[in-house]
A and B are shown apart, each in its own frame.
Chain A
Amino acid sequence: AQTVTQSQPEMSVQEAETVTLSCTYDTSENNYYLFWYKQPPSRQMILVIRQEAYKQQNATENRFSVNFQKAAKSFSLKISDSQLGDTAMYFCAFVTIQGAQKLVFGQGTRLTINP
């Protein structure tokens, strides 16, 4: 079974700082996708960034970037120049390309950006 682990239940940083959220996953598959979702207090789940396992280049979306280490099964999210609006729960998620193709989530990290 595929599992996703986020080892940091909560994090807090000052505005404009850089913060990195950790995620590890477990799978025997070779081809899959990884995602980071953001859930602000409004409770809407918003896709932040996506990474295809077959791509070696790390994905980047403006201030958000990932460090994808396939051999280590690690997928961390880096937020640069953090802003107050980045305060939210962040979920790491995983889906295989073959087989069941379930979208499985980690437990989430609550990130607070302080002014």
Chain B
Amino acid sequence: DAGVIQSPRHEVTEMGQEVTLRCKLISGHNSLFWYRQTMMRGLELLIYFNNNVPIDDSGMPEDRFSAKMPNASFSTLKIQPSEPRDSAVYFCASRLGGNKEAFFGQGTRLTVV
């Protein structure tokens, strides 16, 4: 299995532009997490899906952020409009079942200038 695949690996965009981050889950996994990592705040959970349904989005910073799972193996995290404070590394992670370890993608480093 190729593992969790995120794209792009790096993204540089101008303030105000729309940014879409993509994540492909490991085949058969049914839970998905989106995390944001910064030096100041560490690893923050943004949103968590189980069986394609958002279970907890309390970590989503504001309405500029949205996440979807159009099917069981794919997810997007969209920021519109982007701001410099959104600059961070964004990780997605998938797992099988409700209590097992999560497997992480390699992250997308987002820079908003």
Interface residues of A (CB under 8 A from B): 32-33, 35, 37, 42-45, 47, 50, 91, 95-97, 100-108
Q: Which residue of A lies closest to B106 (CB)?
A: A44
Q: Indicate if the CB atoms of B43 and A91 lie closer than 8 Å.
A: yes
User: How distant is A112 from chain B, measured CB to nearest CB, in Å?
Assistant: 16
Taking chain B's interface residues, is the majority helix, strand, or loop, or is none over half, making it mixed? strand
**Other-chain residue from A32, A42, A97, A102 in contact with B56 (beta carbon distance below 8 A):** A102
On whether A103 and B102 interact (CB within 8 A), knowing A43-B107, A45-B91, the answer reads yes
User: How distant is B69 from chain A, measured CB to nearest CB, in Å?
Assistant: 16
B110 at the interface (CB under 8 A from A): no
Q: Indicate if the CB atoms of B104 and A44 lie closer than 8 Å.
A: yes
User: How distant is B11 from chain A, measured CB to nearest CB, in Å?
Assistant: 15
Q: Indicate if the CB atoms of A45 and B93 lie closer than 8 Å.
A: yes
**Other-chain residue from B50, B91, B98, B101 in contact with A35 (beta carbon distance below 8 A):** B101
For B93-105 the 0/1 string (1 means CB < 8 A from A) is: 1010011111110
Interface centre among B33, B103, B104, B106 (most CB of A within 10 A): B104
